[in-house]
Chain A
Amino acid sequence: MSSVRVLVGTQKGAFILTSDERRTDWQVSGPFFAGWEIYHFNGSPADPRRLYASQTSGWFGQVIQRSDDGGQTWQAVGNKFAYEGTPGTHQWYDGSQHPWEFKRVWQLQPSLTDPDTVYAGAEDAALFRSTDGGQTWQELPGLRAAKGHLWQPGAGGMCLHTILFDPGDPQRMFVAISAAGAFRTIDGGLTWQPINRGLASPGELPDKSAEVGHCVHNLAMHPSRPGVLFMQKHWDVMRSDDAGDSWHEVSGNLPSDFGFPIAVHAHEPDTIYVIPIKSDSEHYPPEGKLRVYRSRRGGDGWEALTNGLPQEHCYVNVLRSALAVDSLDSCGLYFGTTGGQVYASADSGDSWTAVVRDLPKVLSVEVQTLP
């Protein structure tokens, strides 16, 4: 029987939730790395025993943890993230230039084919790669050459938070950075191009032609259709049908088009999910009702999924890396909240149950589908 392993990163440690394919009975283990912030906790698609965790602390800096046995044992691996060459500067809040300074890893994305190759998205925004299982890290500096001097931190820090691989073309990748925008490489990370045409933030970024400076919160794609990208922007849910060359809005009838995560159904490339949040001033669900919204036609035409979710007095947030889908026949979804709940659905979002209710603030949720 298949099973799932949900990897949860929280503000005070990591947790692993496991269940068989029915996803009704759950075992909870953890906290791992108790007391540390786990910004991201992810598994290798090529070898599900291989896990990576970004363990960080405002006091003690960055640690990268690796497991080779599905989380039973761990070893700290390399944590030296040095920008290539002279780090240079980016734009600061007052318009001056500010030196690039490494703060933490927001995203760890293992390669689709090699468990020893893993990419790390950093704050201050940069992309690093390890090809030795995390022992050493090298920056891909071509990304910061894509107008990095014009990037400016958002309220959450200038973080590279999303890394997507094109399963059909190992040379093509996409990343997203707050508040710089989305970027694409077609040469394996050597050079990068901003892909933000069509994004609009009239109040904050009046220049419609601005190549960078866009507050992209999250990107998603279906592996069978890597040229179609979905984006939750600060405001607006967006779609691209040309691998990011241009974007159009698909927010449709959402009660709010502000939010953080976006995800695609495992078996239906046009079924996508967002979790609307009231506004950037009020980081909680509209009307105090926690609702996942699903569109079955790739945007617009959204339906609220509420069965099993609190529909009154709910004022949690769901962060950008805290929504994941499994690939079981009946697609499962999982998301974690800033209130410490992890909700699971085994039926594409039609109904939900809380697997746990009282974890620390959830920073990330990933899921592995195990044979």
Chain B
Amino acid sequence: MIRVVLPQHLRTLAQVGQEVDLPVEGLQTIDSVLEAVIRAYPVLRGTILDQVTGQRRPFIRYFACGQDLSLEPPTTPLPQAVMEGKEPFRIVGAMAGG
């Protein structure tokens, strides 16, 4: 199981708590986690990745194990601790309010 932490607005939209557990089979990469999030919570479609381009939305960031993974290729494998469920994969709304 992969632990995923969602930003507050997406928790409200998906009606979940701060952290969700998702089964992600096979190679555990950034895009496989994001696909699993959308599969489990279709209401989040378009809120993390742009609906049309499929690109990460500009003010969305990904963090895990103290690393910023936002700019890594989507096929990047997740850190071992995330794959083992010891650390969460964090989807963050950037601090960009001014």
CA distance A63 to B50 in the complex (A): 12
Check A79–B51 contact: CB distance below 8 A: yes
Check A102–B13 contact: CB distance below 8 A: no
Asked if A57 CB lies within 8 Å of chain B CBs, one says yes
Minimal Cβ-Cβ distance residue in A for B93: A59
CA distance A34 to B10 in the complex (A): 11
> In the complex, what residues of B have CB within 8 A of residue A60's CB?
7, 9-10, 13, 47-48, 57, 60, 93
Check B93–A79 contact: CB distance below 8 A: no
Asked if A35 CB lies within 8 Å of chain B CBs, one says yes
Check B51–A34 contact: CB distance below 8 A: no
Check B9–A79 contact: CB distance below 8 A: no
Residues facing B in A27-72 (CB within 8 A) are 33-36, 57-63
Asked if A273 CB lies within 8 Å of chain B CBs, one says no
Check A34–B46 contact: CB distance below 8 A: no
Min C-beta distance of A150 to chain B, whole Å: 24
B interface SS class: loop
Asked if A81 CB lies within 8 Å of chain B CBs, one says yes
B46 touches which of A33, A35, A59, A62 (Cβ 8 Å)? A62
> In the complex, what residues of A have CB within 8 A of residue B51's CB?
61-62, 79-82
Residues facing B in A248-269 (CB within 8 A) are none
Check B94–A59 contact: CB distance below 8 A: yes
> In the complex, what residues of B have CB within 8 A of residue A145's CB?
none
Check B9–A35 contact: CB distance below 8 A: yes
Asked if B12 CB lies within 8 Å of chain A CBs, one says yes
Asked if A190 CB lies within 8 Å of chain B CBs, one says no
Min C-beta distance of A65 to chain B, whole Å: 10
Check A61–B47 contact: CB distance below 8 A: yes
Check B9–A57 contact: CB distance below 8 A: yes
Asked if B39 CB lies within 8 Å of chain A CBs, one says no
Asked if B52 CB lies within 8 Å of chain A CBs, one says yes
> In the complex, what residues of A have CB within 8 A of residue B45's CB?
79-80
Check B12–A63 contact: CB distance below 8 A: no
CA distance A35 to B12 in the complex (A): 10
Minimal Cβ-Cβ distance residue in A for B57: A61
Asked if A205 CB lies within 8 Å of chain B CBs, one says no
Min C-beta distance of B8 to chain A, whole Å: 8
Per-residue CB proximity of A272-290 to B under 8 Å, as 1/0? 0000000000000000000
Chain B, interface residues (CB within 8 Å), range: 20 to 34
> In the complex, what residues of B have CB within 8 A of residue A82's CB?
51-52
Asked if A210 CB lies within 8 Å of chain B CBs, one says no
CA distance A93 to B40 in the complex (A): 42
CA distance A203 to B9 in the complex (A): 43
Minimal Cβ-Cβ distance residue in B for A34: B12
Per-residue CB proximity of A68-96 to B under 8 Å, as 1/0? 00000000100111100000000000000
Check B52–A59 contact: CB distance below 8 A: no
Check B52–A76 contact: CB distance below 8 A: no
> In the complex, what residues of B have CB within 8 A of residue A80's CB?
45-46, 51-52
A59 touches which of B12, B43, B50, B59 (Cβ 8 Å)? B59
Per-residue CB proximity of A332-361 to B under 8 Å, as 1/0? 000000000000000000000000000000
* Interface residues in chain B, defined as those with a beta carbon under 8 Å from any beta carbon in chain A: 7-10, 12-13, 43, 45-48, 50-52, 57, 59-60, 93-94, 96
* Interface residues in chain A, defined as those with a beta carbon under 8 Å from any beta carbon in chain B: 33-36, 57-63, 76, 79-82, 102
Those 9 A-B pairs whose CB atoms lie nearest each other, nearest first: A60-B47, A59-B59, A59-B93, A80-B51, A76-B43, A79-B46, A82-B52, A61-B46, A61-B47
28 contacts between A and B (CB under 8 A): A33-B12, A34-B12, A35-B8, A36-B9, A57-B9, A57-B47, A58-B96, A59-B7, A59-B9, A59-B57, A60-B7, A60-B10, A60-B47, A60-B57, A60-B60, A61-B50, A61-B51, A61-B57, A62-B51, A63-B43, A63-B47, A76-B13, A76-B43, A79-B45, A79-B51, A80-B45, A80-B46, A81-B51
